[in-house]
Structure 1
Amino acid sequence: MNAFSSDLLRETLRSSKVGTEDVKKLFHQLDADGSKTLDKPEIMELLGLVEDLTTGERSSEEMRGYITDYLFNILDSDKNGTVDLKELEDYVSTYGLVVNLNVE
C-alpha cells in the first residue's frame, strides 16, 4: 500500500505542462530544414513530443491528426501555410498548450 501511495504521489507531482521555453526548444528541434517555420506534420510531431513530456503517452495518430488540423488553423494566424516561432509563442504564452484531451 505504501509503495502504491508513493507511486501515485510521484505521478501527481510530475509536471503536466510544458513552458514557453520548452516549446521553443521543441520548435527548434523540429525545424530540421532551418526554415524557421513548422508545417502541419511538424506541428503534429510537436504535439506528440508535448504529450511525451507531460502525460508520457501519445494519443492515437487519428486523434493527434484531428487536434493538429484544429490547432494549425489557429496557430497559422497569417494563413501562409506554416507556423513560425512567434505565432507559436504568442499562442502558448496567452493560452497555454493542452494536448491530451482525454477523448475516447
Structure 2
Amino acid sequence: MTTEPTNDPLERLARRRAGAKLGWYIHALVFVLVNTGLAVLSLANGRHWVLGPLLGWGLGLLVHGLFVFVLPAGSGWRERLVQQERERLLKQRAQP
C-alpha cells in the first residue's frame, strides 16, 4: 500500500472519503464507549442525567454521518457550492 501523494483527482477523492468514513467510525466508537460509561455512572448513582449527553452527542454524530455518508466530498451539491464560492472569490480578487 502506498501513501505517496498523488496528482490523480480520483485517488485523492477516494482517500478523502475513506478518511471521512474512518473518522465517523472512530467518532461512533467513542460515542458508544463514553455514553456507556456515563450510563453506568448515572445508574450506579441512582440518577438519570445520562439522557442529555446522549441526545446532544447523538445529534452531533448524526450530523457528522450525514456529511460523510449522504453528502460526501465530491458530491454534486457540495461541488456546486464550492464552484459558487470559487467564482465569488475570483470576482472579489478581480475588483480593484
Q: Could you tell me the TM-score, scaled by structure 2's length?
A: 0.32
- If you compute each CA radius of gyration, which structure gives the higher value, 1 or 2? 2
Q: Could you tell me the TM-score, scaled by structure 1's length?
A: 0.30
- Report which of the two has the higher share of helix: 2
